[in-house]
């Protein structure tokens, strides 16, 4: 029997060979039983757990124990598409591995390259759902913006993913697998940073997100330090605390988008169930003793949240926090009732924030010619950028 690592709730479903699926009436509670001898998906396990399972399997097959660590190298670090490609293993053992285990790939439906080097990937999942990821190269890093859910239940008024509604949560392998795919595709992409700013609300899929981050942190996994991974959320103070207390190492971005609860209720009706004060308390808890970083995200929407009064309120609010403020000019995408502000509007808003607000950055769009920011999949992530906006502190 698989022995799950502490806190990886997902393993419970592996142990009992059941997994939630969407049903016609109640898509959150219906369950389907998988055949008991269905192949175990190694990408849904922490590398150490996968290694243990593989070692036990190897020994049972009369193979040496070191086969476990030999195979685990090819799950994430130096991934292969199928076991038959691990040519250091005896052919008959590779065959038996393939019967007992799986390491599924995401299917790349489309890959678009922008003139500025940004690449957008459209993946299809085994049940036909689609998700997107965007790779954004900068001078000395490449950030991959990944999805945590297909669709999103929160339906923020300005967000294209919100308009899709909720489809389903992604499994661990589907989340971390977006980074893995970058190592497997033709002309591989060398990802140095990950942001959860693609489709979905990560904190509404927290167990899988935590497990996926642990796979990313793990030297035997994707080997990305916590400061290189950022979870972006719109709400849920208790879950922010749960993430802080978990074994996942990451930074946090809080999508504020309005300087007061009344305006936030208009723009983010469901996410604003918790007042801004409670969210900021949780964000301070996340920072803890200063080991982790939090950024406040603020999408700039022309004529909606950019008045001088909005700027003053936001400046006062940000001034009281130990967090940086990240301004994101709205990307209207298609069929959006909202507009992107022009450069003058943005400069005026930034000038009004200063000098009261602490460090302010403005995120500029990338991959515009491939629609890489089509409502959701975000571009250049400036949280880690040193360079503040013109005149910023």
In the complex, the residues that contact ligand SAH under the rule CB under 6 A are 158-159, 196-197, 201, 232-234, 255, 257, 297, 299, 328, 330-331, 333, 375-376, 378
Q: Extract the runs of DSSP E, i.e. beta strands, from 70-221.
A: 101-102, 107-113, 119-124, 130-137, 142-145, 149-151, 166-169, 193-196
Q: Active site includes 278?
A: no
Helix, strand or coil for residue 369?
helix
CB 329 within 8 A of CB 362: yes
154 lines the binding site for ligand SF4 (CB under 6 A): yes
Helix, strand or coil for residue 18?
strand
**Which of 49, 51, 171, 201 touches ligand SF4 by CB under 6 A?**
201
Catalytic-role residue among 138, 249, 313, 374: 374
Give me the helices (H) in the chain, please.
10-15, 47-60, 67-72, 91-100, 160-164, 172-184, 206-217, 237-245, 261-267, 276-287, 308-319, 343-353
161 lines the binding site for ligand SF4 (CB under 6 A): yes
- Report residue 26 as tokens: 């109640």
Give least dist CB 245 to ligand SAH, A: 20
For residue 73, the 8-state DSSP code is: T
- Report residue 365 as tokens: 């769009």
Q: Which CB, 330 or 349, lies closer to ligand SAH?
A: 330
Give least dist CB 180 to ligand SAH, A: 21
- Report residue 61 as tokens: 């097959």
Catalytic-role residue among 63, 132, 174, 297: 132
299 interacts with, out of ligand SAH, ligand SF4, none, CB within 5 to 8 A per kind = ligand SAH
330 interacts with, out of ligand SF4, ligand SAH, none, CB within 5 to 8 A per kind = ligand SAH
Tell which positions 218-247 bind ligand SF4, by CB under 6 A. Answer: 234
Q: Active site includes 145?
A: no
Tell me which residues are annotated as active site.
132, 374
- Where along the sequence are the contacts to ligand SF4 (CB under 6 A)? 152, 154-156, 159, 161-162, 200-201, 234, 255, 271
């Amino acid at each position: 029997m698989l022995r799950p690592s502490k806190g990886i709730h997902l393993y419970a479903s592996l142990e009992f060979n059941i997994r939630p699926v969407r049903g016609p009436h109640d898509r959150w509670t219906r369950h389907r039983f998988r055949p008991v001898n269905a192949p175990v998906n190694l990408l849904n396990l922490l590398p150490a757990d996968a290694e243990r399972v593989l070692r036990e399997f190897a020994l049972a097959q009369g193979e040496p124990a070191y086969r476990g660590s030999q195979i685990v190298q090819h799950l994430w670090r130096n991934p292969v598409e199928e076991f038959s490609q691990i040519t250091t293993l005896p052919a008959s053992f590779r065959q038996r591995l393939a019967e007992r285990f799986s390491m599924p790939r995401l299917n790349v439906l489309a890959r678009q390259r922008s003139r500025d080097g940004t690449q957008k990937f459209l993946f299809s999942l085994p049940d036909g759902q689609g998700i997107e990821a965007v790779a954004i190269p900068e001078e000395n890093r490449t950030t991959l913006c990944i999805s945590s859910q297909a669709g999103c239940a929160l339906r923020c008024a300005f967000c294209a993913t919100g308009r899709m509604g909720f489809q389903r949560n992604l499994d661990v392998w589907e989340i971390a697998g977006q980074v893995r795919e970058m190592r497997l595709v033709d002309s591989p992409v060398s990802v140095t940073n990950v942001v959860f700013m693609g489709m979905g609300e990560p904190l509404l899929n927290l167990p899988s997100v935590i497990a996926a981050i642990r796979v990313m942190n793990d030297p035997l996994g994707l080997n990305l330090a916590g400061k290189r991974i950022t979870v972006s959320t719109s709400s849920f103070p208790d879950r922010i605390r749960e993430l802080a207390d978990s074994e996942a190492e990451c930074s946090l971005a809080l999508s504020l988008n309005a300087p007061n609860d009344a305006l936030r209720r208009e723009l983010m009706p469901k996410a604003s169930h918790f007042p801004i004060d409670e969210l900021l308390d949780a964000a301070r808890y996340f920072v803890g003793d200063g080991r982790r970083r939090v950024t406040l995200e603020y999408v700039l929407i022309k004529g909606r949240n950019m008045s001088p009064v909005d700027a003053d309120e936001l400046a006062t609010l940000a001034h009281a926090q130990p967090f940086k403020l990240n301004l994101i000019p709205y990307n209207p995408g298609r069929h959006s009732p909202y507009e992107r502000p022009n450069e003058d509007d943005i400069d005026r808003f930034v000038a009004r924030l200063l000098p009261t607000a602490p460090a302010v950055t403005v995120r500029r769009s990338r991959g515009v010619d491939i629609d890489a920011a089509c409502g959701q999949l975000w571009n250049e992530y400036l949280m880690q950028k040193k360079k503040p906006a013109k005149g910023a502190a």
